[in-house]
Structure 1
Amino acid sequence: MTGVRGGAGTPAGRMSTAARAWLASLDDEQLGRAAWAWEPDGERLRWFYTPTDHGGLPLRDMRPAQQSLAMQLVATGLSSAGYVTVSTIMGLENVLDQVEGWQVGWGRERGRDPQLYWLRVFGDPAGRGPWSWRFGGHHVSLNLLVVDGEVRATTPCFLGADPAESPLLGPHPLRPLAGAEDLARDLVRSLDAAQTGRALLAGTAPVDIVGGNRPRIGDGEQVMRLPDVWRDHFTDPGLAERVEAMHRGSEEKAGLRPEDHEAVRLTTRPRGVPAADLTPAQKEQLRALLGVYLGRIPDELADREAAKFAGDRLDRVHFAWAGGTARHEPHYYRLQGPRLLVEYDNTQRDVNHVHTVWRDPEGDFGFDALRQHLREAHR
């Protein structure tokens, strides 16, 4: 993904300044967890969206001033709306704790903890070489790479919400990811019979995003089992069985069959209806939906990403759907095209638990940018 080159006022410059300030505030023990040497592969490519150890230094183990510096770094990787959304998702841990009767532990002192979000820097943000940073916890995973003074990767970028909808005082509920849901539903309900025939993959939605938290997306991937989306399998037999039972129960409740899994498996060639076969009004709906995902990152970077789909370049993006199209019916969709894979799923907790991810199968974690950097460095 292309970034913006420049100094202190650019996204890369702001990230470098914030990362250096945060790292300078840490003691030696904290630095051992927060700052790792640069690595193009390995731990840098591990990302999660479950309440597992995401790797790094959690907010819980920082002083308040250090937490502030950490969140200042997080904010450099997000737009204003993106930062509000991430902050709201983190706060939902308190709501989820109440929804679950304060009983869920996940093998730690507090199972739903708004301070169990981890931050880690790979490489030297003050140096000349590539460096990256990762922020993640339950329902948040941000992965950003800086190469040669440019932000060159902003994916995988995962945001979820559980509950997806919560009551507020007054008539309007709290729905952090409402745009990702409502714009897609409006689009699918606008399709005619022929368009629907191409867009609809299956009448039953999968129980999660199909790509899961794989570091690389491959042809033919199917939904991962829930135990495999955690950092490690649980050694506690009770927890291990609980996670396995959650996955098994979700699939049984949905009535998923092998042919449903086959229908939604990921393919290199996009499935669904291409934008080229949409009406002008539908194309604008699709563009608005895509903007909900691209708009997560700083405006300068989002504009560069949006330019990839300007005009007729949107025509190669495909829209695919599985499940029902009415509110509160389990549903899933994806947007797929050159350098693009967006997945959305809302099936769990009686259709009140959303997962969304934006990926670039060729450029996640900066795979493409690092290859180019190595070629140029060895000329």
Structure 2
Amino acid sequence: MKKIIIFSLAAIILFLLAFNPFGETPAVKFLDALNNEQRAKVQFPFDHTSKTFWHYFPASMTPRAGIQILDLNTTQKQLFNTLLQSFLSETGYSKTQKIIDLENVLLEATGDSIRRHPEKYFIAFYGNPETDSLWAWSFEGHHISLNFTVLNGTISASPRFLGANPATILSGKRKGERTLDREEDLGFELVNSLSDEQKKTAIFQDSSPFDIVTTNSPEVEPLNPVGIKFADLNDSQQIIFLKLVNEYLATIPVEQTNKRIERIQEEDLDMLRFGWAGATALGKGHYYRIQGQSFLIEFDNTQDNANHIHSVWRDFDGDFGKDLIKEHYKNSDHHKH
């Protein structure tokens, strides 16, 4: 009798494992903590149209799909933070929290609690991480848009948008505090390391655009190949260039960063271009882009007297997991038939 009971329990455990092959991941734990009403708000079919709509405006200006942090209880917020940390590096998580905290600075400066609120950021899931091999999720609101697609544990993480307003806090107890300063300072360091002759190639226009050129486009193609090639830089300039690229990659976990660096070295390195527009010192509008065969980085600090940063990483073939989706449909037995 005892053996029968043990066998039955083992069979039940095996059945449960088979039913939930992906285990209690941070994504599953977060979703399981939601009530039915919350779950209905946050979870959509994988191919829902809202998946590729993204923006960096405040939520009051541009409504988002999903559930906002404001509508979560304390335990759910903790589980969400664990989820976010699992998809970002320590650096990426820190930058994200600093950007969110700038909402408090804007709230204090404007008194506008409708537009400026640190918990008006939205979480949305596409597909089911508990049962699906292919699923996605996003986190976004003012100056943040993080989009992740997962296929059997492989993660695509683009578009990745991070912004900062104010880029430098100009008054109060936190006066002088900067957000996304590394992205800005390394850009200045690179452009100002160039010789006059190199600048003629690198600086493609005297004034900076008002915003990143690609804005919130759901899909992007390579822009005009402006700027100076990586191969036309000296050794010290190339080191600065790679530090700058790495600063954008440093937002995601090390394993993903290393894979992307390897890919850039194999496919993109000789084709990388650094293009600059606008002023070459703090205080006036400035913009740069880095473009390779597979990706685009844009950085703009022009608005609000050049104290308002927009920055983004785009993958030409991988935004919203396009490359993973192609792989899924190519290799899936269900879709083969």
TM-score with structure 2 length normalisation? 0.87
Structure 1 counterpart of 2:272: 317
Whole-angstrom CA distance in 1 between matches of 2:102 and 2:174:
19
Structure 1 counterpart of 2:10: none
Shift, 1:340, TM fit? 1.1
Residue of 52, 58, 62 corresponding to 1:51: 58
Conserved in 2, the CA contact under 8 Å of 1:346 and 1:352? yes
Identical residues among aligned pairs (%): 36
Structure 1 counterpart of 2:249: 294
Structure 2 counterpart of 1:74: 84
Residue of 134, 140, 144 corresponding to 1:130: 134
Cα distance change of structure 1 residues 65 and 357 upon mapping to structure 2, 3 Å threshold: same
The aligned runs of 1:90-109 (5 Å cut-off) are: 90-99=100-109, 101-103=110-112
Question: Tell me, what secondary structure is at the counterpart of 1:183?
Answer: helix
Whole-angstrom CA distance in 2 between matches of 1:282 and 1:22:
44
Conserved in 1, the CA contact under 8 Å of 2:268 and 2:292? no
Structure 1 counterpart of 2:211: 208
The aligned runs of 1:94-243 (5 Å cut-off) are: 94-99=104-109, 101-103=110-112, 110-151=114-155, 153-166=156-169, 173-218=176-221
Bigger Cα displacement from structure 2, 44-53 vs 180-189 = 44-53
Whole-angstrom CA distance in 1 between matches of 2:44 and 2:33:
16
Shift, 1:28, TM fit? 1.1
Cα distance change of structure 1 residues 285 and 217 upon mapping to structure 2, 3 Å threshold: same
Question: Tell me, what secondary structure is at the counterpart of 2:264?
Answer: coil
Whole-angstrom CA distance in 2 between matches of 1:75 and 1:174:
23
Shift, 1:156, TM fit? 0.2
Conserved in 1, the CA contact under 8 Å of 2:277 and 2:286? yes
Question: Tell me, what secondary structure is at the counterpart of 1:51?
Answer: coil
Whole-angstrom CA distance in 1 between matches of 2:175 and 2:99:
17
Residue of 5, 16, 27 corresponding to 2:35: 27
Structure 2 counterpart of 1:275: 230
After superposition, the C-alpha distances for 1:166-208 in whole angstroms (9 at most, x for unaligned) are: 1588998311200000001010011112211111121010010
Shift, 1:277, TM fit? 0.5
Conserved in 2, the CA contact under 8 Å of 1:168 and 1:174? no
Question: Tell me, what secondary structure is at the counterpart of 2:168?
Answer: coil
Structure 2, unmatched stretches of 5+, are 1-21
Shift, 1:54, TM fit? 2.5
Aligned-partner residue type, residue 37 of structure 1: P
After superposition, the C-alpha distances for 1:289-308 in whole angstroms (9 at most, x for unaligned) are: 00110111011111111112
Whole-angstrom CA distance in 1 between matches of 2:308 and 2:234:
31
Structure 1 counterpart of 2:286: 331
The aligned runs of 1:296-375 (5 Å cut-off) are: 296-310=251-265, 313-375=268-330
Conserved in 2, the CA contact under 8 Å of 1:217 and 1:361? yes
RCO comparison, higher one (Cα < 8 Å, 6+): 1
Conserved in 1, the CA contact under 8 Å of 2:268 and 2:294? no
Whole-angstrom CA distance in 2 between matches of 1:372 and 1:28:
33
Cα distance change of structure 1 residues 172 and 280 upon mapping to structure 2, 3 Å threshold: farther
Matched, 1:36 2:39: no
Whole-angstrom CA distance in 1 between matches of 2:130 and 2:292:
35
Conserved in 1, the CA contact under 8 Å of 2:268 and 2:293? no
Whole-angstrom CA distance in 2 between matches of 1:158 and 1:94:
20
Structure 1, unmatched stretches of 5+, are 1-12, 104-108, 220-265
Aligned-partner residue type, residue 323 of structure 2: D
After superposition, the C-alpha distances for 1:238-261 in whole angstroms (9 at most, x for unaligned) are: xxxxxxxxxxxxxxxxxxxxxxxx
TM-score with structure 1 length normalisation? 0.78
Whole-angstrom CA distance in 2 between matches of 1:216 and 1:311:
24
Aligned-partner residue type, residue 294 of structure 1: L
Aligned-partner residue type, residue 42 of structure 2: A
